[in-house]
């Protein structure tokens, strides 16, 4: 990576405390139901639970059998049933059906529901409606934060994005505020809090409310500054193809809760292998942030070094051999296993991603980001749709075209929409409605642009009223203003000079030097300026909602250079790689807290409505 990296980066706080607190609270809740019990776990909680408390821990606390919630009659014979679930009405209704079926069959059992991360009034209302309020005890497991790595913490709430940004359902805002509150209590107080976006503001206000209600303890801060950012501030970055190693592994194999399952073609055996991807994996840690073009060179060098280490044993005497076997051999074997897995994964990625098709795809994306050859890009997307290459990919390209061009011309919009529906089915009409609502796929409106109207309104009324009217306009039509933002923040580097991906000069390396992620550029600019001063035009183009608040000054110098960035609505591995690069360049350490890890496929899939 970059040779100019600063060497004085501060040490990161130890987040293992978050796991210990979550495990202890879960054990306490299980012990509230004394005696043997069967535990039913919701499917999307199984992976996070495995990172907190494994099966043997649960068995030690009288959990007899484990079941996955499957919305069908239960086969358990236990007298006590415990349900560990997300606060979802559908699941609560199923639990009521189970209890009612037991009643009808004359079975007497005890039922306990543990909601995580919190229980909602709507779920309790369902219990009351079904006449179960007295028969079922409820509790909440405040499991807000799961550390996936030394510098990545996830709320594991993928539904946050759709619920908030599409449905306008703000029930998760208190959860986001509580997550901040936990971090503030353990690793704060924070010196400064910056943010941009409507939900960031809400999360900040929810957190402040909780701080004011709780007791304050003076302590040495381990995290200095906090930056909150909404996903809809920057949709372009998650819609771009990822080309750093960790991002590609996520795109192709799907990293779930920090763990990936490599298929038999990667493992060169007849079975799949699950691998934890974090900084403990020495091979992965060195290539995770690298552009994919550098990965093979690194892996082959690593293989040579490993061979040299193995060859050392030749010519050893008995004593040296004994030392080698007890101290080095185990580590070398582990490294060898991981190296062969990552070489297998890289070969699999190569087969899928270095074909002519992928190069064409990247060229089209780069043209869209630069605003060149748009007609050729539209032709490429039309061909992509007609060949039915991928339903999700076609939608992703349409959204990228719309955002970078500030909406499609009406004739292009209608033509592309008709082609898509003919190719993939008319049941995607609702999906188009969702994408329009979010401003991801819209047609340009004829006549005046909103910005011209706003500037005229601004001359007629005072600033405060103009601001309110601007808010009203922006909510009527979510505009991306990508071109203007790109010019102001220099997001697309000049393409006339060669970009050396082995020695990156800026964060654009994560997209082959074609584009600096807007989200990360904003963070860099705000930290440089110590606030939003001088970025007024940028925040106006982003529809405002920016804030900067100075808190306590209890942070020591090192802590001031530890920045917690919270993404509301998801964050990609490419953005994490860019922030790590920025941290190395500027002497910061970034901790990324996100509602969930996302990528282009997950983002588009969460907006699909094709089950008519």
Angle at 610 between CA 608 and CA 612, to 5 degrees: 145
- Can you tell me the distance from the alpha carbon of 436 to that of 216, in angstroms, rounded to the nearest whole number? 45
What pLDDT is attached to residue 499?
79
Reduced to 3 states (helix: H, G, I; strand: E, B; else coil), residue 536 is helix
Q: Tens of pLDDT along 413-433?
A: 999 999 999 999 998 999 999
The pTM (predicted TM-score) of the whole model is: 0.89
Extents of the domains making up the chain? 15-143, 148-234+518-606, 275-356, 357-405+407-444
Nearest to 84 by CA among 51, 48, 57: 48
In which band, very low, low, confident or very high, does the pLDDT at 309 lie, cut at 50, 70 and 90? Answer: low
- CA 101 to the chain's CA centroid: 40
Contact call for residues 407 and 443 (beta carbons, < 8 A):
yes
Does 298 have pLDDT greater than 80?
yes
What pLDDT is attached to residue 356?
64
- Tell me if the bond preceding 445 is cis, omega within 30° of 0: no
DSSP readout, 428-451?
GHHHHHHHHHTTSS-BPPSSS-HH
Tokens of 246: 């960790």
Name the percent of the chain in helix, strand, coil, to the closest 5. Answer: 55, 15, 35
Whether 15-143 shares its CATH topology with 357-405+407-444 is answered no
CA dist 324 → 281, 334, 529 (Å): 21, 15, 53
In which band, very low, low, confident or very high, does the pLDDT at 289 lie, cut at 50, 70 and 90? Answer: very high
Does 612 have pLDDT greater than 70?
no
Residue 437: CB atoms within 10 A of its CB come to 16
Q: Tens of pLDDT along 10-68?
A: 889 999 999 999 999 999 999 999 999 999 999 999 999 999 998 889 999 899 999 99
Mean pLDDT of the chain: 87
* Lowest model confidence (mean pLDDT) among 122-131, 303-312, 401-410, 601-610: 303-312
β-strand partners of 66: 39
CATH class of 275-356: alpha beta
Specify the CATH number of the domain 148-234+518-606. Answer: 3.40.50.1910
Does 321 have pLDDT greater than 70?
no
What pLDDT is attached to residue 3?
43
What are the residues whose beta carbons fall under 8 Å from the beta carbon of 5, sequence distance 6 or more?
584, 585
Reduced to 3 states (helix: H, G, I; strand: E, B; else coil), residue 67 is strand
CA dist 132 → 37, 114, 116 (Å): 19, 15, 20
Does 451 have pLDDT greater than 50?
no
- Can you tell me the distance from the alpha carbon of 115 to that of 144, in angstroms, rounded to the nearest whole number? 12
Does 535 have pLDDT greater than 90?
yes
Contact call for residues 401 and 368 (beta carbons, < 8 A):
yes
Q: How many angstroms separate the first and last alpha carbons of the chain? A: 49
In which band, very low, low, confident or very high, does the pLDDT at 436 lie, cut at 50, 70 and 90? Answer: very high
Residue 464: CB atoms within 10 A of its CB come to 8
- Can you tell me the distance from the alpha carbon of 460 to that of 469, in angstroms, rounded to the nearest whole number? 12
Q: Which residue has the tokens 């107080």?
A: 189
Contact call for residues 558 and 225 (beta carbons, < 8 A):
no
CATH assignment of 357-405+407-444, among 2.40.50.140, 1.25.40.850, 1.10.287.1080, 3.90.1300.10: 1.25.40.850
What are the residues whose beta carbons fall under 8 Å from the beta carbon of 115, sequence distance 6 or more?
85, 86, 87, 123, 138, 139, 140, 141
Does 178 have pLDDT greater than 90?
yes
Q: Which residue has the tokens 């043209």?
A: 367
Does 592 have pLDDT greater than 60?
yes
DSSP readout, 226-247?
EEEEEGGG--HHHHSPP-BHHH
Nearest to 520 by CA among 440, 592, 600: 592
Q: Tens of pLDDT along 374-416?
A: 999 999 999 999 999 899 999 999 999 999 999 999 999 999 9
Residue 375: CB atoms within 10 A of its CB come to 8
Q: In what order do the strands lie in the sheet with 192-196?
A: 146-149, 152-154, 589-594, 562-568, 225-230, 192-196, 546-550
Quote the CATH superfamily of domain 15-143.
Sec1/Munc18 (SM) protein, domain 1 (3.40.50.2060)
Q: Tens of pLDDT along 230-261?
A: 999 999 999 999 999 999 999 999 999 999 99
Contact call for residues 597 and 278 (beta carbons, < 8 A):
no
Contact call for residues 81 and 40 (beta carbons, < 8 A):
yes
Tokens of 514: 């074609």
């Amino acid at each position: 990576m970059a040779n100019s990296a600063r060497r004085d980066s501060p040490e990161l706080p130890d987040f293992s405390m978050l796991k210990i607190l979550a495990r202890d609270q879960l054990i306490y809740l299980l012990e509230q139901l004394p005696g043997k019990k069967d535990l039913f776990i919701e499917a999307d909680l199984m992976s996070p639970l495995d990172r907190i408390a494994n099966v043997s821990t649960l068995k030690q606390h009288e959990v007899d059998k484990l079941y996955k919630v499957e919305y069908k009659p239960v086969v358990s014979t236990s007298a006590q049933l415990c349900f560990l679930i997300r606060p979802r009405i559908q699941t609560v209704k199923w639990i009521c059906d189970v209890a009612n079926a037991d009643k009808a069959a004359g079975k007497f059992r005890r039922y306990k529901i543990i909601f995580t991360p919190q229980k909602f009034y709507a779920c309790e209302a369902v219990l009351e409606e079904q006449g179960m309020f007295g028969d079922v005890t409820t509790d909440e497991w405040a499991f807000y934060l799961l550390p996936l790595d030394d510098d990545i913490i996830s709320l594991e709430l993928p539904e946050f994005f759709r619920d908030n940004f599409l449905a306008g359902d703000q029930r998760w805002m208190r959860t986001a505020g509580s997550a901040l509150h936990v971090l503030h209590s353990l690793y704060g107080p924070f010196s400064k809090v910056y943010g941009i976006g409507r939900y960031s503001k809400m999360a900040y206000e929810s957190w402040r409310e909780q701080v004011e209600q709780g007791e304050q303890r003076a302590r040495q801060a381990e995290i200095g500054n906090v930056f909150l950012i909404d996903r809809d501030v920057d949709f372009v970055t998650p819609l771009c193809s990822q080309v750093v190693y960790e991002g590609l592994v996520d795109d192709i194999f799907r990293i779930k809760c920090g763990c990936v399952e490599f298929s038999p073609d990667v493992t060169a055996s007849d079975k799949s292998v699950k691998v934890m991807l974090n900084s403990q994996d020495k091979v992965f840690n060195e290539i995770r942030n690298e552009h994919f073009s550098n990965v093979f060179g690194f892996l082959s060098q690593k293989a040579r070094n490993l061979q040299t280490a193995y060859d050392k044993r030749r010519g050893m005497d008995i004593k040296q051999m004994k030392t080698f076997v007890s101290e080095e051999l185990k580590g070398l074997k582990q490294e060898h296993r991981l190296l062969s897995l990552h070489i297998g994964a890289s070969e699999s990625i190569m087969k899928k991603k270095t074909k002519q098709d992928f190069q064409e795809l990247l060229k089209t994306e780069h043209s869209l980001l630069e605003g060149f050859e748009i007609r050729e890009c539209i032709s490429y997307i039309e061909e992509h749709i007609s060949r039915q290459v991928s339903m999700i990919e076609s939608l992703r390209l349409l959204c990228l075209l719309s955002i970078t061009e500030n909406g499609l011309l009406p004739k292009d919009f209608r033509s592309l929409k008709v082609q898509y529906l003919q190719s993939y089915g008319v049941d995607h009409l609702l999906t188009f409605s969702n994408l329009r609502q979010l401003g991801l796929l819209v047609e340009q409106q004829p006549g005046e642009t909103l910005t011209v109207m706003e500037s005229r309104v601004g001359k007629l009324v005072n600033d405060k009223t103009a601001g309110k009217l601007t808010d009203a306009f922006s909510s009527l039509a979510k505009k991306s203003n990508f071109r203007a933002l790109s010019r102001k923040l220099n997001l697309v580097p000049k393409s006339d000079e060669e970009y050396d991906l082995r020695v990156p000069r800026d964060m654009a390396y994560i997209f082959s030097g074609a584009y600096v992620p807007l989200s990360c550029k904003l963070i860099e600019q705000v930290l440089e300026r110590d606030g939003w001063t001088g970025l007024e035009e940028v925040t106006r183009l982003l529809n405002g909602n920016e804030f900067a608040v100075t808190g306590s000054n209890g942070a020591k110098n090192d802590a001031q250079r530890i920045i917690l960035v919270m993404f509301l609505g998801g964050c990609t591995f490419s953005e994490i790689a860019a922030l790590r690069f920025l941290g190395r360049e500027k002497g910061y350490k970034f901790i990324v807290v996100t509602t969930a890890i996302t990528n282009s496929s997950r983002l588009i899939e969460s907006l699909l409505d094709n089950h008519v």
